[in-house]
Structure 1
Amino acid sequence: MPSLPELMHRTFFRTLSLLSPEGQGMILRRYFDWRHRVPDPWKLATDSYEQRKYRSTLKHLPLRPYRRIIEVGCSEGVFTHALAAAYPDAEIIGVDVSERALARARARVPEDERVRFVRADILTHRPGRRFDLVFCSETLYYLGRHDRLRRACAQLSELLVPDGVLVAVHPWPEATRLHGYLDAHGSLARLSEQVYTEPPRPFAITVWGTKPT
């Protein structure tokens, strides 16, 4: 059962989703800029749990070449750095709502013709191109209510090329609810799921592919 602080945390973000998508995005930008007033507020670069989660996520990717990759909710670019090392020939875009986080991401992974960071949010961003591989980790629960989650999952599916791969990583068992929105999207077919139940925070890695048209 979630702790009281975690329940209050979720209630706060559900309340934000009563705003328009633009209003919700503005508050989220301010919130995450505030959280990033200090470097690496979630210890993504140093915590052994986070590092294990990144290694596990990469392990579950279907073996194929990926030319274009987008990471939605990249924060300070810790996983973006791992992606750049794992796929040295891929073009990679990291997206986050916090400019403070992105400034540190650019310091960690300098932008060039291959790696780029963009400030945007999942509800309103239209990148104008599609990707072979889309990541969304620890992000969906910030979006709140049913309609926003459904809209976000539609946005994620629209980022994929035909035969593209989408990977979502969220706490377990909450991932059952969150990933269910992706299961319900008509263009996606679940390929695999792995649940890691070890403490301190169980999580699920779920992989989808685009359905043949």
Structure 2
Amino acid sequence: MPESKSANGSRPFPELMHRALFKSVSVLPSRGQAAVLRRYFDWWHRSPDPWHLQTDDYEQQKYATTLRTLPERPYNRILDVGCAEGVFTHALAGAYPDAEVTGVDVSERALNRARARPGTPRPGFARADLLSYDRHHAFDLVVCAETLYYLGRDDRLRAASAALVRFVRPGGLLALVHPWPESQQLHAYVGGAMSQVAEHVEEKTHRPFAVTVFEAGPSR
């Protein structure tokens, strides 16, 4: 989302309305909510790169900060949740060329552009929403950025957080990237199930954000 924060640290009115919209959508059953989100994001992606993820300096800063915050270790399988047109998914594939990288998103329009994006090595992509993604294996690293606030109510956020935890293999990592200080609430449910191992809060920007990294226990 491109909205900035106001000078006193509160979210501006358009962003508050945006949150209220998705909170109201979350009163629908899970399948109904997923259908609304698919249509919403397909509509947004009627034109390429609607949030300027490829070209915006702020987004590039956030990607670089996320990669720097990740602990240095080998990752065999990586999942990028809410990947949109795959800009960061391709960055992950470039940063970890020996890994199998997969991006998932609800918008088929976005995924078609993600698949067409040039790059070597090439990640894979699949259409799925967070609450119903049927993974075939667990991942060494799961990244979820600018996504959780679309879930709306706390019960959906709790369910989404539990799904993210399940995606991670024992000893694997989950990296969450969301606006600060809202991230404290968005990341809280994961904190009860995994151990926080790293965090970077970037406040010197027009829209502060936090990169929080959690590690799964040896067995769950």
TM-score (norm 1): 0.96
The answer on whether the counterparts of 1:109 and 1:115 sit within 8 Å (CA) in structure 2 is no
Alignment-derived partner of residue 6 in structure 1:
15
Mapped to 2, the partners of 1:117 and 1:27 lie a distance apart of 21
Q: Of the candidates 180, 190, 215, which is equivalent to residue 182 of structure 1?
A: 190
Q: How many residues align?
A: 210
Amino acid at match of 1:191: V
Partner of 2:35: 26
Q: Percent identity?
A: 57
Query: Is 1:105 aligned with 2:114?
Result: yes
Q: Secondary structure at the match of 2:141?
A: strand
| Deviations, residues 124-172 of structure 1 (Å, cap 9, x unaligned) | 1121211000000000000000110000001000011111000000001
3-state DSSP of counterpart to 1:94: strand
Which residue does the alignment assign to 1:63? 72
Are the aligned partners of 2:142 and 2:173 in contact in 1 as well (CA < 8 Å)?
yes
Secondary structure of residue in 1 paired with 2:50: coil
Note if contact 1:168-1:205 (Cα within 8 Å) is conserved in structure 2.
yes
Structure 2 alignment gaps of length 5 or more: 1-9
Moved over 3 A (4+): 109-112
Aligned twin of 1:122: 130
Counterpart CA distance in 1 for 2:215 and 2:83 is 21
- Distance in structure 1 (CA, Å) of the matches to 2:163 and 2:49: 27
Calculate the TM-score normalised by the size of structure 2. 0.93
* 8 Å Cα contact 1:13/1:144 also seen in 2: yes
Aligned partner of 1:80 in structure 2 is 89
Distance 1:126 1:156 in 2: 12
Aligned equivalent of 2:197? 191
CA drift at 1:199: 2.2
